[in-house]
Structure 1
Amino acid sequence: MTPRVLGIRHHGPGSARAVMAELDRLRPDAVLIEGPADADALIATVADPDLRPPVALLAYAADDPGTAAFWPFAEFSPEWQALRWSVRAGVPVHFCDLPAAQTLAHRATPQRDPAEPEPAEQTDLFDEPADESARIARADPIALLASAAGYDDPERWWDDVVETRGDSGGFDAITEAMGALRQEIGELGEDGHDLRREAHMRQILRKTLKLPGVERVAIVCGAWHAPALAGKLPPAAHDAKLLKGMPKLRTKLAWVPWTHSRLAGASGYGAGVISPGWYHHLFTTSDDVVVRWLIHQADLLREKDIDVSSAHIIETVRLAETLAVMRRRPLAGLAEISEATLAVMCQGDSGLADLMYREAVIGERLGEVPADAPVVPLQADLTASARSARLKQDPRAKEIDVDLRRPVDRAKSVLLHRLGIIGIPWGVARDVTGSGTFKEGWTLTWKPEFVVEVVMASVWGTTVTAAATARITDRAASGASLAEITGALEAALLADLAEALPAVLTALADRAAIDHDVEHLMAALPALGRARRYGDVRGTDVTALGTVASALLVRICAGLPAAVTGLGDDAAAELRTRLDAVHETVALLDPDDRTRWVIALTALAARHDVNGLLLGRVTRLLLDGGQIAATEAADRLTYALSGGATPIAKARWIEGFLGDGGLLLVHDRELLGILDNWLITLAERDFVDVLPLLRRTFGVFDPSVRRNIGDRVANLDGRAAPATPTTAFDRELAAPAVAVVADLLGLS
């Protein structure tokens, strides 16, 4: 019997349904699926309920985990459904594509033009055309046919030409169309890798047809390959010649979790789809597809405290269906639903619509693998890196101090920071004293569940360095604020991720260019200032950070006058915290930056329309920096306490001026006298009003400081402070003790 070729669209829910229906109708004796032939041993795991898609077959070179490739599967992937169908039915099932050992060897030594850029080692595979003439068609040939037929959604086209036909002729039509398309654009790539792939598929097919009891064979493969497997097969000797002498690598394979976002075409995945979340919904929902989808979107909006009522859902359904009728389409598709969602649920807010696209249409579903799955390359690289850094995986908590001037200690620090970035908190940083920024303290605890975390982190890369680089780049690209992006930048420097710095700095520059909120800029600057120190401590080139930090400071100084105007007490308190952080950071920048900041503070201190909390703080910063003398600070305090402001406003000025530095009043008698004089002249009601503020201000001082202030206040009127009783020295009583000490010191 002629083998049944089911040409499918990778990750197409319509294809998946059609494959399942055809397998039910055909009841084959064996099933072949496009995928690495040496992964057959992992097929049995498909029956494990703990293996939940999206997942991927991961193959990596045993001697070089960085050389790796992924074959992803979603719940709606036709290949996954064919695997599940075969396992449930007890039908022999095999992968038929080139073994991963040969695929990785080909990737490691590709035949390419020397002028072309070096390809990335880590690859997501199903179809990856070798030459540009086939690249567009091969990326998604079903989408190309759909476009030619006037469809903007390949799934809609598939429904019309395959599923609604109600017969088994749809796959034959797909194979015929792909044959015509291949003839139209020419044969495959110049290096012949795809020809060898199809030759291997035919060799596996011949081998399967010779097995006892096998008469009906179903082949599930990308539609592009269907013509090469359908009909009469060419001579086996021809295929054997193509496959002869192919290089191999020693390879290991494993299942790893995957995500919907990594299935999306926007992630760079060659066989990606534009709407994984929507496709999952299409495949798993049997009735009321549009209504249930909109309910899902409404739930997402409600989780973000956005009001969405049942009426919103009803009107969105009506609008989507009306758009479909106007466009002469039998059912509303994703385009109509998205437009209706924007108009009704999101009320025209494109930002909310983009949020729905990311969280619903693409989604972020994470797959799961069994706990006893084979080790992944990330774990292997982690183990090797830990051994190199002389870190032992110990379940008992252990504290260590590392000196970044020593190479082995620096390796410890870098590894722990990188693991923290990818969500493996083996080490938790703790505060230490001494050695300045060259010393770090860590508490190490290796937990058994970290093995699972390592497997999950494999979605970012196959080595600790690659995974941390990808994760920090993603954090910077998706950062909702400047502070998040600068936090990512600081983490990248601590983890010595030099390759991530260009992307993070680009994200920072892009975000800073459109962010006009001075508080956001002030929140972002401290991380940049701290990061500049790592050039000395860690040997990292941070030259570009000075330019970025200076640019942010210029915008802060320009926007600060407007930002401080008309602030209430709570807003002023928050801004004071930002002000202090920026002031500390400016001390780490260049002299020109420090001068610019002092000018901005001086201008601010001269204003009278700003919350006293900020004016008092700015005056204190100028005093501590030596920009104004103590006498001038005393004059400003006198003015602040003698003006027409309310007693509470004056107490705010004092709170800002003193901050947590009560020693100033211990050492400056003039300031203390001004403050004391203001306080004792307050009316009783005013005193009661300001007392809580003053108590909060003085309450943060150290008890010894408060005691010294009290002593100074008692002596402000010129009277001597009460003499502190002293104990007379009795030589006779002390003689025995002195003799013992002298004997111990060898002085007797």
Structure 2
Amino acid sequence: MTTPTAHPPRAAADSRRPDRVRPGAGPMVLGVRHHGPGSARAVLAALDAAEPRAVLIEGPPEGDALLPLAADEAMVPPVALLAHAVDDPGRAAFWPFAEFSPEWVAIRWALAHDATVRFIDLPAAYSLAAAADPSWGDEEDVVAGEEPTLRVDPIGALAEAAGYDDPERWWEDVVEHRGEPDPRGRAGPPDGVLAPFAAIGEAMAALRERYGHGGHPRDLLREAHMRIRLRAARKEFGDEVAVVCGAWHVPALTARSTATADRALLKGLPKVRTETTWVPWTHRRLARLGAPPGRGSGGGYGAGVESPGWYAHLFGAPDRPVERWMTKVAGLLREEGRMVSSAHVIEAVRLAGTLAAVRDRPLAGLGETTDAVRAVMCDGSDVPLALVRDRLVVGDVLGEVPDTAPAVPLQRDLARLQRGLRLRPEPAERELELDLRKDNDAARSRLLHRLRLLGVGWGRPEAGRGSTGTFRETWRLRWEPELHVRVAEAGVWGTTVLSAATAKAESEAVSTTALAEVTSLAERCLLAELPDALPVVMRALADRAALDADVGRLADALPALARSLRYGDVRATDTAALGGVAAGLAERICVVLPPACTGLDADAAAGMRGRLDAVHSAIGLLPQSRELGGRWVDVLRGLVLRDTVPGLIRGRAARLLLDDGRLAEGEAARLMGLALSRGTAPTEAAAWIEGFVGGASGGGMLLVHDERLLGLVDAWLTSVPADAFTDVLPLLRRTFSAYEPGVRRTLGELARRGRTAGGPVRTETGVPGFGAGADERRADAVLPVLRLILEGERV
């Protein structure tokens, strides 16, 4: 889609042509709505008619030097002007431009016609300072002596005066659809090109007369600076000046004022040193209202365009916009497998036109086309309609900025790595599967982990599907324009991604005091492959581990170390120092864990159970697992036999020993019998059951295949007194509700068959899967399949 801005250069234009419109007495002030296609079309027509020598745009003057880049063929909107404080890059502001933005159209027109183009808004140096000093920001007391004023929505006020209940629909009817191609291909209304701007200026003047600054006192400062810049342009170019600004500011720019008064308003304002550049923007970001998330925004304007894809279509369609839009929708739905024919398109266009006529609208808008698409192409369903909104009404469009645009060194290094790794930033969220045995995938993984360490959240790791091997990683990637600010912030750590990530890791290792945080940092350093930072982190980790005696923090730190060692083996990283720290940590846990498990309430016991599972898994991953495993088994046996340990933890310790083959089945049945004896309180017995067979740990299948354990549970449950049953029931429901539906169904069938007197639940011989003993022939049949699976994992 091309923006209709291809015009002959100014030298070739005939300045004496009779239809040329002169701006009369004073400059031509064109009040627009930011990102409005109708406003953009009207601005283009006005500039063509008046041919001013200078065009002034609402925007930060620091961007003047970057304006020529807008004519570069590599500059593809949507883009945004980014300004940030040099000493604090996180304090930033954006000024976004789309192809249908009136300001962008004016910039491109001026560059194509050799006209001077400048920004005239309040400098970003002032507005960014306001982000840290709200004493002169948009506060009601910023202007001394004025009464507090409610903020006014000028569009809403005019829409209400016109009898509209929807400001957006009023603006579209009056401005955005004004001059749009007729649905039948005829030209729009033959009004004068400047008449709409004059009408808007009069309406805004009436609003400003009634509401003053409308609850936006900072606008008075901005408008003072705009007038100063306008006076300077008039001294240079006379009245052959065009100003493109928000319609709200038109009365302030055309009213009488003195340079002395304007300078007095700006005198003494704080300011900061700034840097400015162009960055790519997205349609999705245009659809959000307000400043991007961050530590402070110093101005700019939030787009809040709910339908950037629709507006881009309106601006770029040469004729029959509704017909062309319905064709796009039909194409999208066909790609998604829906049966949409040309007859659907014709009927949807007719319905949209009929709805516009019934609603007294000059042209079918987004509301009418959406209603028509829902009724005709989506069979009244909002499910496929959501796809149309996501892909077309908003759209996944990412702008492009030429390489010649200014950028911090870290941004340039990141761009080089992205090109080399063929990892293109995209606005749509996508999943990326990496095989760490491949060099390119391993390099991609290192880059993404380093960026995460720097706070640049381009990708986030996800749980992989289809493989549990440590050589695979799954990432979910999505590039947001705000990440340019994060890159600028991270630039203080270094000029390359590697050096910056290394420096930040070393700084965090020195400043972090919590053991779990240092452990997590060590894991991230291994994943990001930062060999220079790892010794510093290891020293900090050893120091913190030696001083920390809290078993909870020690238990939380060990699993991360075990994961790091496992990944280090896959990535061929030397992890000898890390292994020593992990082994020492495991030894200390074996000493301090048993006394820490006594005298716990229900909540503390649940938390300790989770740590018990995590430590058990971690010790099995450590290189010294054989030596440490013996000590850990002794710890678990001690927990099983200690009466002062909560039943939840004793039951879980018994289950871990049983799963590892360190506890005979007969011994497990004896321990369960003791835990469920009449001398044990029902709530304590229920907690033991939850620890032993609860959750998604396979306890359900254990009961299915072990008749003795199921019989013990069944016998105990039927013997619980009625007055205690209500206390036990919530624990039991929590235990068994985590089982798979098939497991619960099988247990119910076994219980329904009954049990012998005083014995276990009775099972019938010959029922598949429930024989009297193990069927070795059937068990051996799965070995070839398991061999194929395991060999595939090692490939």
TM-score normalised by length of structure 2: 0.53
2:364 paired with 1:332? yes
2:706 paired with 1:596? no
Which whole-Å CA distance do the structure 1 matches of 2:240 and 2:488 have between them? 48
The amino acid that maps onto 2:205 is: G
2:788 paired with 1:696? no
Which whole-Å CA distance do the structure 1 matches of 2:200 and 2:88 have between them? 40
2:354 paired with 1:253? no
- TM-aligned CA deviation for residue 286 of structure 1: 1.5
Residues 533 and 323 of structure 1: CA distance in aligned 2, closer, same or farther (over 3 Å):
farther
Which whole-Å CA distance do the structure 1 matches of 2:82 and 2:157 have between them? 25
The amino acid that maps onto 2:331 is: D
The amino acid that maps onto 1:166 is: D
Partner of 1:182: 208
2:465 paired with 1:367? no
The amino acid that maps onto 2:48 is: D
Q: Secondary structure at the match of 2:134?
A: coil
Q: Is the 8 A contact 1:423 1:457 kept in 2?
A: no
2:161 paired with 1:155? no
Counterparts of 1:481-520 in structure 2, within 5 Å, are none
Counterparts of 1:347-362 in structure 2, within 5 Å, are 347-362=379-394
Counterparts of 1:517-528 in structure 2, within 5 Å, are none
The amino acid that maps onto 2:239 is: E
Q: Secondary structure at the match of 1:173?
A: helix
Which whole-Å CA distance do the structure 2 matches of 1:48 and 1:397 have between them? 33
Q: Is the 8 A contact 2:83 2:276 kept in 1?
A: yes
Q: Choose from 214, 222, 243 the match for 1:219.
A: 243
The amino acid that maps onto 1:301 is: L
Q: Secondary structure at the match of 1:16?
A: helix
Counterparts of 1:444-455 in structure 2, within 5 Å, are none
Which whole-Å CA distance do the structure 2 matches of 1:593 and 1:102 have between them? 62
Which whole-Å CA distance do the structure 2 matches of 1:36 and 1:146 have between them? 34
CA offsets 1:573-615 (integer angstroms, 9 cap, x no match): xxxxxxxxxx99xx9xx984764336654676699xxxxx998
Q: Is the 8 A contact 2:282 2:397 kept in 1?
A: yes
Counterparts of 1:249-288 in structure 2, within 5 Å, are 249-265=272-288, 270-288=302-320
Partner of 1:300: 332
Counterparts of 1:629-644 in structure 2, within 5 Å, are 639=765, 642-643=766-767
2:41 paired with 1:17? yes
Partner of 2:458: 422
Counterparts of 1:689-728 in structure 2, within 5 Å, are 695-696=784-785, 699-700=788-789
Partner of 1:500: none
Partner of 2:83: 59
Partner of 1:448: none
Partner of 2:98: 74
Q: Is the 8 A contact 2:701 2:743 kept in 1?
A: no
- TM-aligned CA deviation for residue 345 of structure 1: 1.1
- TM-aligned CA deviation for residue 301 of structure 1: 1.9
- TM-aligned CA deviation for residue 697 of structure 1: 5.1
- TM-aligned CA deviation for residue 326 of structure 1: 2.0
The amino acid that maps onto 2:273 is: R
Which whole-Å CA distance do the structure 2 matches of 1:533 and 1:81 have between them? 57
2:63 paired with 1:27? no
Residues 11 and 145 of structure 1: CA distance in aligned 2, closer, same or farther (over 3 Å):
farther
Counterparts of 1:183-198 in structure 2, within 5 Å, are 183-189=209-215, 192-198=217-223
Partner of 2:111: 87
- TM-aligned CA deviation for residue 304 of structure 1: 2.2
- TM-aligned CA deviation for residue 335 of structure 1: 0.9
Residues 144 and 365 of structure 1: CA distance in aligned 2, closer, same or farther (over 3 Å):
farther
Q: Secondary structure at the match of 1:72?
A: strand
Residues 107 and 398 of structure 1: CA distance in aligned 2, closer, same or farther (over 3 Å):
same
Which whole-Å CA distance do the structure 2 matches of 1:312 and 1:343 have between them? 10
Which whole-Å CA distance do the structure 1 matches of 2:692 and 2:119 have between them? 65
Q: Is the 8 A contact 2:27 2:243 kept in 1?
A: yes
The amino acid that maps onto 2:220 is: L
CA offsets 1:123-178 (integer angstroms, 9 cap, x no match): xxxxxxx9995644158777677765977252222156677352121111111100
- TM-aligned CA deviation for residue 97 of structure 1: 0.6
Q: Flag structure 2 segments of 5+ consecutive residues without an equivalent.
A: 1-24, 141-145, 180-187, 292-300, 416-438, 491-518, 523-554, 562-602, 611-654, 660-686, 708-739, 747-758
Q: Choose from 193, 199, 202 the match for 2:224.
A: 199
CA offsets 1:596-646 (integer angstroms, 9 cap, x no match): 336654676699xxxxx9989999xxxxxxxxxxxx99x98x95xx44x6x
Q: Is the 8 A contact 1:137 1:144 kept in 2?
A: no
2:311 paired with 1:210? no
Q: Is the 8 A contact 1:399 1:441 kept in 2?
A: no
CA offsets 1:418-470 (integer angstroms, 9 cap, x no match): 67840499xx9xx999xxxxxx9999xxxxxxxxx99x654346126999xxx
Q: Is the 8 A contact 2:32 2:39 kept in 1?
A: yes
Q: Is the 8 A contact 2:138 2:218 kept in 1?
A: no
Partner of 1:137: 153
- TM-aligned CA deviation for residue 350 of structure 1: 1.2
- TM-aligned CA deviation for residue 109 of structure 1: 0.7
The amino acid that maps onto 2:326 is: L
Residues 102 and 614 of structure 1: CA distance in aligned 2, closer, same or farther (over 3 Å):
closer
TM-score normalised by length of structure 1: 0.56
Partner of 1:553: none
Residues 106 and 333 of structure 1: CA distance in aligned 2, closer, same or farther (over 3 Å):
same
Partner of 2:342: 310
Which whole-Å CA distance do the structure 1 matches of 2:139 and 2:365 have between them? 44
Which whole-Å CA distance do the structure 2 matches of 1:7 and 1:76 have between them? 15
Which whole-Å CA distance do the structure 2 matches of 1:465 and 1:289 have between them? 41
Counterparts of 1:608-687 in structure 2, within 5 Å, are 639=765, 642-643=766-767, 674-676=775-777
Which whole-Å CA distance do the structure 2 matches of 1:113 and 1:204 have between them? 21
- TM-aligned CA deviation for residue 274 of structure 1: 1.8
The amino acid that maps onto 1:154 is: W
Q: Flag structure 1 segments of 5+ consecutive residues without an equivalent.
A: 117-129, 384-395, 403-408, 434-439, 444-452, 468-492, 497-531, 551-582, 608-612, 620-631, 655-669, 680-689, 704-748
Q: Is the 8 A contact 2:159 2:165 kept in 1?
A: no
Q: Secondary structure at the match of 1:298?
A: helix
- TM-aligned CA deviation for residue 695 of structure 1: 4.5
- TM-aligned CA deviation for residue 357 of structure 1: 1.6
Which whole-Å CA distance do the structure 2 matches of 1:91 and 1:332 have between them? 37
Partner of 1:520: none
CA RMSD between the two structures: 5.2
Which whole-Å CA distance do the structure 1 matches of 2:450 and 2:388 have between them? 37
Residues 343 and 15 of structure 1: CA distance in aligned 2, closer, same or farther (over 3 Å):
same
Q: Is the 8 A contact 1:378 1:461 kept in 2?
A: no
- TM-aligned CA deviation for residue 700 of structure 1: 4.9
Q: Is the 8 A contact 2:79 2:97 kept in 1?
A: yes
The amino acid that maps onto 1:315 is: E
The amino acid that maps onto 1:239 is: D
Partner of 2:485: 462
Q: Is the 8 A contact 1:261 1:267 kept in 2?
A: no
- TM-aligned CA deviation for residue 227 of structure 1: 0.5
Partner of 1:171: 197
Which whole-Å CA distance do the structure 1 matches of 2:409 and 2:162 have between them? 39
The amino acid that maps onto 1:332 is: A
